[in-house]
Amino acid sequence: MIAVRQWLMSVGTALGGWLRRASYLQKWLALGTAIGIIAGLGAAVFFATLTASTHLFLETLGGYTPPAPIGDGGAKGSGEFTRPWAIPLVVALGGLLSGIIVFTWAPEAEGHGTDAAIEAVNKNPRMIRMRAVFVKLVASAITIGSGGSAGREGPTAQISAGFGSLLARTLDLTPKDGRIAVAVGIGSGIGAIFGAPVGGALLCGAIVYKDDFEFEAIIPGLFTSIVSYTVYGAFLGFDPLFGSAASTYKFDEPLQLVWFAIIGICAGLIGLLFAKTFYFTVDITRRLPGSRMVKPAIGGLLVGLLALGIPEILGSGYGWVQNGLDRDGLLAMPLWVILILPVAKILATSLSIGTGGSGGIFGPGLVIGAFTGAAIWRILEPFAPAVPDSPAPFVIVGMMACFGSIARVPLAVMLMVAEMTSSITILAPAMAAVGLSYLIVRRSGETIYRAQAQNREEARSARLRAGLPLLGRASVVDAMSAPKLVLRGDLPIGEALEQLRSAAVPGAPVVDAQSRFVGSAYSDQLSGGPMGIAVSRRVEAGAPTVADDAKLDDALDALHGTHRWLTVLDAKREVRGIVGVREIVHAYRVAAEADVHRFSRISAHADLVDVQVDAGSALVGKALGDNTLPNDVIVVSITRGDSVLAGAAGSNFQSGDVVTLLGEPAELDHVKALLAPTR
């Protein structure tokens, strides 16, 4: 086992070194292919596990078969319960088993999963444990298969995002590349399970922010999503989840915009109700006394009792959406059920997931929106003019508007639902509904994904580059200090604690027999356990690290949470030093003092000029930190299109950039010749 681990570390070190030297295309072809394959396989494995769980719990024990959408086989379901008394017990059993699995092995796997993946993008792309991924897969399959109201996208997103996090750790990806790897994992996993690769690719960049977009994730997301979709489809087929529900719809009645606007307003309000009810349930559950393992069982029991009157709330609910897309299927459902179903599904999802169960909230959000549109169609259809003969357009737009707004990803959800229903022609009138619902939700400031940052400026990496640009001029090697202690992985924990106490440090890097870094060990985590086992058994493999050729803005970007220091590694993963907040602050002061000194050397006759970078300049593609300009010339800013970049060391020159320079006239003429040699 140790030999295998060492071999894997050697491979990871070699691949990580290759990726750091590779071009953008080479890097993301490799990473995108790997993440896409795992996303597709993970989605297929989860679907198979969920199918087996549903057969065991709901069908065998509960005596009930829910209907399925066309993409899942199109089964009509068993209709009524054959053993009504068993349904509450089965759902409660699923909640209990899920709670035991989650809170025994990976408590972070509770809830809907997508939020945890978004948090990893915005805080620490290395934080998702593979154990949590496997726990999430099993616990979610049990929750949904036993009748809990949840979606299957949460587990699939966490599988692929978890693999992206594993790559970030194993290959020592930069914080920026690690965030992109996790983000494309989220989108490709969701896109695969829903058979919506284009929407999944767009989701990669949209889902991490409330009011912004991570553009750098789009191109990797496009490639990763199509790979995951292809792998998933190779096992389970490429049919749209809901078939061709409204492929023949044609928008040729302007009056219909009024009805779509009504759907948008209602969907926005229902979305707000969904988010507030869900998180109210989460807050109340955490305050209530009792074991966390038992609370999902109580929620499951309540869902089972509610299902005796409204069986449509059980499981994912996609089969009922399929029925609602058809005129005869929707008219066969009692009107009171259609009217109450959005609220009932909100309550059932909150009780299933908000109490600590495991599963996604994306799917239930679509079902809630679908029956919001269906309810409006049933009300308007008998008397209102220009109402479509089929409820499909209203149901589809309801899905787009409700979850697209409350998840703050309107465009991505519009495309996903269009792909799931083969209804691209519905997009034009849907814009009115989605736009109105999004404005309602945006005004409230609410979102179903609480881990979303407001925008890129609020995100930690963007704040560092915009607010502390001088950090990009200081090298990690110049600021780091020698570690007081480096622990061997085979050292017993008791002896390691003694060495930590003797060195008066709270933690230390841990290396293997070949002196390669395997993680960090902390005294508070080692204490209280068996003293005779090796430190490598309790090491934190996801502890932050930084390469020795990095700048201090990368080091500060890698610091997160409770970590106050990180290990500096060379290309062979050998420990070169330690850098912490104190060293970073000191380096920033040194850089600031150097800038003050540089300004003081510029005479009162200094000029401020703008120079446009020519395509023939030898500096195109080079960074400011490469010492390509004289020290007596200061780059104030770089204007690129509509963006203004700080004159930080990490900023590079591109053809067409307008560079604002401050310096002596003679020095400025020299720089002009470098940036625009043909002028």
Strands of 517-522's sheet in order across: 487-488, 507-511, 517-522
pLDDT score of 238 more than 80: yes
Burial readout 120-146 (b: 16 or more C-beta within 10 A, e: otherwise): bbbbbbbbbbeebbbbbbbbbbbbbbb
For residues 571 and 20, which has the higher predicted lDDT (pLDDT)? 571
For residues 39 and 155, which has the higher predicted lDDT (pLDDT)? 39
What pLDDT is stored for residue 551 in this prediction? 81
Q: Where are the beta strands (DSSP E) in 263-329?
A: none
pLDDT score of 434 more than 60: yes
CA pair distance 357, 109, nearest whole angstrom: 9
Q: Which range, 260-269, 351-360, 493-502, 592-601, has the best average confidence (pLDDT)?
A: 260-269
Q: Which amino acid appears at position 604 of this protein?
A: A
Banded model confidence at residue 640, pLDDT cuts 50, 70, 90: low
Mean pLDDT of the 30-55 span: 93
Banded model confidence at residue 106, pLDDT cuts 50, 70, 90: confident
In tens, the pLDDT along 176-198 reads 888 899 999 999 999 999 999 99
Mean pLDDT of the 209-222 span: 89
What pLDDT is stored for residue 555 in this prediction? 81
Assess contact for 70 and 239: CB atoms under 8 A: yes
CA pair distance 622, 611, nearest whole angstrom: 16
Q: What's the CA angle centered on 70, arms 204 and 146, to 5 degrees?
A: 80
In tens, the pLDDT along 485-509 reads 999 988 888 888 889 889 888 889 9
Least reliable range by pLDDT among 449-463, 484-498, 529-543: 449-463
For residues 49 and 290, which has the higher predicted lDDT (pLDDT)? 49
Q: Which of 594, 580, 442 is nearest to 508 (CA)?
A: 580
In tens, the pLDDT along 292-306 reads 899 999 999 999 999
In tens, the pLDDT along 350-404 reads 999 999 998 889 999 999 999 999 999 999 999 999 889 999 999 999 999 999 9
What pLDDT is stored for residue 659 in this prediction? 80
pLDDT score of 248 more than 90: no
CA pair distance 282, 111, nearest whole angstrom: 9
CA pair distance 312, 333, nearest whole angstrom: 10
Q: Which two tokens stand for residue 22?
A: 């590779």
What pLDDT is stored for residue 21 in this prediction? 78
What pLDDT is stored for residue 250 in this prediction? 84
What pLDDT is stored for residue 627 in this prediction? 63
What pLDDT is stored for residue 607 in this prediction? 67
Mean pLDDT of the 568-583 span: 87
Q: Which of 394, 455, 449, 40 is nearest to 245 (CA)?
A: 394
What pLDDT is stored for residue 447 in this prediction? 92
Provide, rounded to the nearest whole percent, the portion of the chain with pLDDT above 70.
89
What pLDDT is stored for residue 565 in this prediction? 85
Mean pLDDT of the 314-332 span: 92
What pLDDT is stored for residue 642 in this prediction? 47
Q: Which two tokens stand for residue 454?
A: 């407001």
Banded model confidence at residue 533, pLDDT cuts 50, 70, 90: confident
CA pair distance 551, 527, nearest whole angstrom: 34
Domain annotation for the chain: domains and CATH numbers: 2-444 (1.10.3080.10), 468-587 (3.10.580.10), 601-675 (3.30.70.1450)
The rounded mean pLDDT for the chain is 85
DSSP state of 61: I
In tens, the pLDDT along 612-627 reads 888 778 887 777 766 6
What pLDDT is stored for residue 396 in this prediction? 95
What pLDDT is stored for residue 603 in this prediction? 55
Q: Which range, 83-92, 125-134, 212-221, has the best average confidence (pLDDT)?
A: 83-92
Assess contact for 583 and 627: CB atoms under 8 A: no
